[in-house]
Structure 1
Amino acid sequence: MPERISLEALAALPSVQGVTVSHAGDQVAFYADWTGRFELYVQNLRTGERRQLTDGQAPKAIRAGFVWSRDDRRIYFSRDENGDERQAMFELDVKGGGVRALQHDPQSMDYVVDVHPDGGRLLVNSTRGGMMNVHLYDLTREGPDAWTALTTLGNATMAGGFSPDGSRLTVTTNESADLRNTDGYVLGSDGSGWRRVWHVQEGSRDSLGDWHPDGKHVAVSSDASGAGRVGLLNVDSGEVRWFTPEGGPDETPGRFSPDGRWLSVIRNVDSTLTPVLYDTRTGEGRVLNLPAGVATGSAFALDGRALVITQGTTTTRMQTLLYDLASDTAGVLLPAEYGDVNPADFVPGEYVRYPTTDGLTVPAILYRPRDLDPGRRYPALVHVHGGPTAQFFRMFDPHAQFLADRGYLVLCPNIRGSTGYGVAWRDANLLDWGGRDLADVAAGAAYLKSLPEVDPERLGIFGGSFGGYMSYLAPVKYPDLFRVSVPIVGISDLRQLHEDNSRVMPQLGYYFRTMMGDPEENAALWADRSAVTHAAHLKAHMFMMHGTNDPRCPVNQARGFRDALVAGGKREGEHFEYVEFGDEGHGSADIAGKTRSYRLMAEYFARHL
């Protein structure tokens, strides 16, 4: 079938990320790769004036946000080098554009969370000393003396933000033996007065969000009822007022309006994200007037009269809107760009559910090529998302679009372990990676085979990170199911992953233990659910892609599986293909990297599927 969409033109479409409203509410700052690489920009919401603030100092790939100082004169951001995720902090003068590097230990990951109202201290989540913990960074000091550790827990600990007067701050962590448990804490800005203020039940994931302007209340969330639930907590009395009904829908708290009347919330239903405003006085919810799809952000601006929202659908790229609350209308603040690509050529994602092995159904998004020939059968692909605690949304998917344009059906399933469908579904793969979740992937392949337009002999699977894990494991656990497999920055050896993560990114080692238990007690399970154990069973042709700087899923995951194939008599070029990227970490995020990986994938599928 004729190709309508240029792969290079699609990969080169610029994107805007991290849109953040200033404290005064009259400016937004954001990353955009209009120059071919990401730079930091600021735009005045009243005049529309826009300025580029960085010139090469911004991150190559956006893996961390940034924060405004309380007087909006400075921005603090983090940057790594070529995807190594050793995040270092920088201070940017908004007016003058000067960038100053702050003190950084080469092996630590430093994420700035908030700026104290006095302007002299940063609240930072950092791996200095090992596990992710909460630190203060004193901007008036130099070198290591600028750092003060506020927490030193052995479990991953994350700060939320300073109270409006700067006297207190919020933290979410776990002091329970149940590694899945999280609770909310408040302490003084000097680290004193550590106190747990938010705990719904043992084992639930309870956390603190934005401070109310009164300095006495914070937004809270909990999944104790079976879905993400949002409320308002008095941190002194412990009294909570729930906004989300018990049992759902799944909601996540955002920001309060400047006057404290509204709390913005994102509602997650059937792979859509919708902004909702809760009246903090009455508890009534107000759904915004936006198209069905994905809308994120919802930060208040212009004295609380407007919201800045990023919104898109399966056929429209993400754009940034300025939503007027009085008129319930939205104007385009930062339009999506399409360059030489005709958006009319994009195909809509169809929301489906398919049956899986135990009588349940798996929600998914299905992309079909445009103008299918009824007399022809087409190849099909299962695309598995990362995480696994993540999900596919009904938003623009460039992978699906360029593959559908080339004649492939693409199924994007939210298998067990995915978010957005309640706690039971999210936790259904605990101690079971590569079990029922993999059965859901295999059931997705069976569903594709049942479609009359699909050629059952031409099925493939691909995905990145956890999706790469599934792309390694599926063709060795179900050796006759897929013709090709493309694991991207994937996982083939669980024990090796845990050892590396525990050393280099201890917060991920901790996360992995919450998912798959203790490495010694579950050694047999970990071995069975590692693709490298079963490499000899591979029949599908495989194409492995990995960045050499990846700390999350280190490149030894790909090298180890490649070596196992070679040891078993497989030959590179004949039975598998392999590529490493020396300028990348955990995936391709910049335009040059995306263009390269899209081209390699398209050429591979054209040869083998």
Structure 2
Amino acid sequence: MKNFLWVLAATLFFTGCKQEREKQETAIVPASYTIEQMMDNENVGGGSFAPDNSKLLISSNRSGIYNMYTVPASGGALTPVTASDSASVFAISYFPEDSRKLFRMDDNGNEIYHIYLMDEAGSYQDLTPWEGARSLFYRWSEDKKSFFFASNQRDKRYNDLYKMDVESLTPELIFQNEEGYTLQAITKNEAYIALGKSINTNDSDLFLFEISSGKLTKINENLSANSAEDFTPDDSALLYTTDDGGEFAYLMSYDIATGARDKVAEKQWDISGSYFTDKGTYQVTYTNEDAKNAIEVIEVATGKPVELPAIEGMDVNNVGFSSDETLMRFYAGGSNSPSNLYVFNLETGQVTQISDVLNPEIAAGDLVKADVIRYASFDGLEIPAIYYRPHQASESEPVPALVWVHGGPGGQSRQGFNPLIQYLVNHGYAVLAVNNRGSSGYGKTFYKMDDLNHGDKDLKDCIAGKDWLATQPGIDGSKIGIIGGSYGGYMTMAALTFAPEEFDVGVNIFGVTNWIRTLRSIPAWWESSRIALYKELGDPYSADSVRLEAISPLFHTERVTKPLMVLQGAQDPRVLQVESDEIVAGVRQNGVPVEYVLFEDEGHGFLKKENQIKGYSQILEFLNVHLKEDPGVPIRDDAMEDGKLQSQ
């Protein structure tokens, strides 16, 4: 009997293996899409309901740059409200009692945001016109006659809290920030403000500030990561997240009158946010569940969960409510689908799709749904990652691959739609988006593992990801590159510099190359977190500078031997253009192929479709030549100017 079971099991095993091999050998060959087609997927964001619930105010990049639009809440065509062709425009909100609108705009990615008012006739004005100062909208006041916003116009280092009367349009200073606090929440009765204070990038203190008396009360009892989420509808208590005594952030309540602290909710992942709707009917809680949002909406009066609409093959990832709380707008999408906007009538249960953002020229089945995987790093630590395997990959036709590294350093690759990744996968490149040690979302122990160790063990995690890729069916282990933006760009350069034989090519998208300079030149408005950054990365004005120089690729460019591509925005306030200029010049001295794309009108991230099309198509061309060794379309040899590619 045992022999029979063994034979049966073996038969099933080998049959399964045969079927898997046949599946791999008969891989689907998807249609090949141009970058113009892929970037013609529309990106829609926001969603403020008009006072009468008839329309939504949203942002969309359908014009090639983000502008503000209105769309009927019952479905229909988008109507443009702004027509910017340079700076991106992002909708903030309808006014609570009329059709005036607030929106945000900076200057081509310099992150100096101003808040603008558009009147009912379509004229607009800058409500925060202070030179060199950035302003951020917080929320409307309880009586809807004013709104709160933060600005660093008084002191470029710190955000003060202001209240703007909507009739006089005169700002009133509510809280003068002299100690580098972060402004996190304010009670409806305007009696208290919740303030955060960074200690390091892992831990922060939380305070309750009484406006009338100036009394400051510390909320957390131990060293931990704490963040205010919202005050209860009756202003009696503060909800906040903390990881005190645990690996993941859970939700706590602090009673203002008694000082009592009570646990409200705890998950097996980080609770990343929680708030009450305007009238207090619902409580919305977000959990970062294995790199995607899990959303819970609770009816406060009954404690019962609201069943969110099910959209086939997609996850609900963001919700918002009308002021009367009868309608909920939500977004649903996935790794293989850009997010669409929907309206859910909470009274009738009707769901209306508002947007259809996938380019009709693209067959949804040609896009690749990612798998969440885990692999062992050099020291046995389990590393989470998101794996995109091209449809056309097979054992007989193995494909090249890329290790994708997120920004941060404490960021996280998420299970959302990424047009560049899908473009590369569509053209036959597997992508493994690693969440190396130091990434957020996997517990505080994992999060702090790269402190004062950047470019070492986190880089080894990426190399282990490359090694995992090389063992996968349908992957050509001899053709694996590395790509990333911001901190991921640094990791790309670190890989090519400090492990020059591990990866075959590197694509550095506005990555740090000189930590000493970057840490000394961080924007003034980061002052509240500057010391925390120094504790994680190193103080560039101390003996840490020796280590920072040692891990900065710029000082070791002679080690780079593999082809390199660099992309940069000239207006980037975080990673200055000189970082990319100098690394390109240094590596070129080695006689290594180097391509450089510079956009004069972009900052830390490329928002304009025209620039995305230029930059991303050139990434593919570079990879085709230097990784796939199948150029297809020849690399252009243009001058280094706006969106042009400078070749060796």
Same fold, TM-score > 0.5, yes or no: yes
Contact 2:344 2:350 in 1 (8 A): yes
Q: Which amino acid aligns with 1:313?
A: G
CA distance in 2, matches of 1:373, 1:140: 62
Residue 230 of structure 1 and its aligned partner are, at CA, apart by: 2.0
CA distance in 2, matches of 1:38, 1:551: 20
CA distance in 1, matches of 2:602, 2:201: 35
Contact 1:131 1:154 in 2 (8 A): no
1:544 aligns with 566
2:451 to 423, 426, 430: 430
1:100 aligns with 125
Contact 1:535 1:565 in 2 (8 A): yes
TM-score, length of structure 1 as denominator length: 0.89
1:528 aligns with 550
CA distance in 2, matches of 1:483, 1:345: 27
1:202 aligns with 222
Change (3 A) 1:75 1:396: same
Contact 1:502 1:510 in 2 (8 A): no
1:114 to 139, 145, 151: 139
Change (3 A) 1:475 1:41: same
**Deviation digits for residues 38-84 of structure 1 (CA, Å, limit 9, x no counterpart):** 2212345368686433232995275xx72444435433332111111
CA distance in 1, matches of 2:60, 2:518: 33
Residue 418 of structure 1 and its aligned partner are, at CA, apart by: 1.6
Q: Which moved more, 1:95-104 or 1:490-499?
A: 95-104
Task: Note the 1:178-217 alignment, pairs <5 A.
Answer: 180-188=203-211, 192-197=212-217, 199-217=219-237
Which structure has the greater CA radius of gyration? Answer: 2
Q: Which moved more, 1:501-510 or 1:414-423?
A: 501-510
Contact 1:219 1:253 in 2 (8 A): no
2:402 to 381, 388, 391: 381
Residue 177 of structure 1 and its aligned partner are, at CA, apart by: 8.7
Contact 1:67 1:114 in 2 (8 A): no
CA distance in 2, matches of 1:601, 1:535: 21
Change (3 A) 1:474 1:194: farther
**Deviation digits for residues 196-232 of structure 1 (CA, Å, limit 9, x no counterpart):** 4562343322122233332323432222232121234
CA distance in 1, matches of 2:543, 2:64: 49
Task: Note the 1:4-43 alignment, pairs <5 A.
Answer: 4-21=32-49, 27-43=55-71
Residue 33 of structure 1 and its aligned partner are, at CA, apart by: 2.0
Residue 97 of structure 1 and its aligned partner are, at CA, apart by: 2.4
Change (3 A) 1:560 1:235: farther
TM-score, length of structure 2 as denominator length: 0.84
Change (3 A) 1:314 1:424: same
CA distance in 1, matches of 2:523, 2:555: 22
CA distance in 2, matches of 1:22, 1:45: 9
Q: Which moved more, 1:67-76 or 1:342-351?
A: 67-76
Contact 1:39 1:59 in 2 (8 A): no
2:193 aligns with 170
Residue 138 of structure 1 and its aligned partner are, at CA, apart by: 4.4
1:363 aligns with 384
Q: Which moved more, 1:339-348 or 1:126-135?
A: 126-135
Task: Note the 1:81-480 alignment, pairs <5 A.
Answer: 81-93=107-119, 95-117=120-142, 121-128=146-153, 129-136=155-162, 138-139=164-165, 146=171, 148=173, 150-161=175-186, 163-165=187-189, 167-174=190-197, 180-188=203-211, 192-197=212-217, 199-224=219-244, 225-245=246-266, 248-278=268-298, 280=300, 288=308, 290=310, 294-301=315-322, 303-325=324-346, 330-480=351-501
Change (3 A) 1:53 1:263: same
Change (3 A) 1:324 1:73: closer
Residue 317 of structure 1 and its aligned partner are, at CA, apart by: 1.4
CA distance in 2, matches of 1:159, 1:26: 31
Q: Which moved more, 1:381-390 or 1:299-308?
A: 299-308
SS in structure 2 of the partner of residue 457 of structure 1: strand
Residue 146 of structure 1 and its aligned partner are, at CA, apart by: 4.5
CA distance in 2, matches of 1:393, 1:297: 14
SS in structure 2 of the partner of residue 185 of structure 1: strand
Change (3 A) 1:177 1:55: closer
**Deviation digits for residues 397-440 of structure 1 (CA, Å, limit 9, x no counterpart):** 21221111111111011111222212222222222222222111
Residue 318 of structure 1 and its aligned partner are, at CA, apart by: 0.3
CA distance in 2, matches of 1:47, 1:562: 49
Contact 1:306 1:323 in 2 (8 A): yes
Give the total of aligned pairs: 595
1:593 aligns with 611
Contact 1:159 1:169 in 2 (8 A): no
Q: Which moved more, 1:247-256 or 1:360-369?
A: 247-256
**Deviation digits for residues 277-322 of structure 1 (CA, Å, limit 9, x no counterpart):** 2454676666645467653332233733443221111222101222
1:53 to 78, 81, 84: 81
Residue 474 of structure 1 and its aligned partner are, at CA, apart by: 1.2
Q: Which amino acid aligns with 1:130?
A: K
1:66 aligns with 92
Contact 1:389 1:419 in 2 (8 A): yes
Q: Which moved more, 1:307-316 or 1:40-49?
A: 40-49
1:80 to 77, 92, 106: 106
Change (3 A) 1:132 1:296: farther
Contact 2:570 2:598 in 1 (8 A): yes
2:645 aligns with none
Change (3 A) 1:70 1:345: same
Q: Which amino acid aligns with 1:74?
A: R
Q: Which moved more, 1:414-423 or 1:113-122?
A: 113-122
SS in structure 2 of the partner of residue 501 of structure 1: coil
SS in structure 2 of the partner of residue 487 of structure 1: strand
Residue 141 of structure 1 and its aligned partner are, at CA, apart by: 11
2:632 aligns with none
- Percent of aligned pairs with the same amino acid: 22
Change (3 A) 1:391 1:410: same
Residue 19 of structure 1 and its aligned partner are, at CA, apart by: 2.5
Change (3 A) 1:389 1:61: farther
CA distance in 2, matches of 1:499, 1:415: 26
Contact 1:198 1:238 in 2 (8 A): no
Q: Which amino acid aligns with 2:141?
A: H
Residue 86 of structure 1 and its aligned partner are, at CA, apart by: 1.5
Residue 8 of structure 1 and its aligned partner are, at CA, apart by: 0.9
Residue 195 of structure 1 and its aligned partner are, at CA, apart by: 4.0
Structure 2, unpaired ranges of 5+: 1-28, 628-648
Structure 1, unpaired ranges of 5+: none
CA distance in 2, matches of 1:429, 1:152: 31
Change (3 A) 1:195 1:261: farther
Change (3 A) 1:537 1:255: same
Contact 1:3 1:406 in 2 (8 A): no
Contact 2:158 2:525 in 1 (8 A): no
Q: Is structure 2 residue 629 aligned with structure 1 residue 604?
A: no
SS in structure 2 of the partner of residue 335 of structure 1: coil
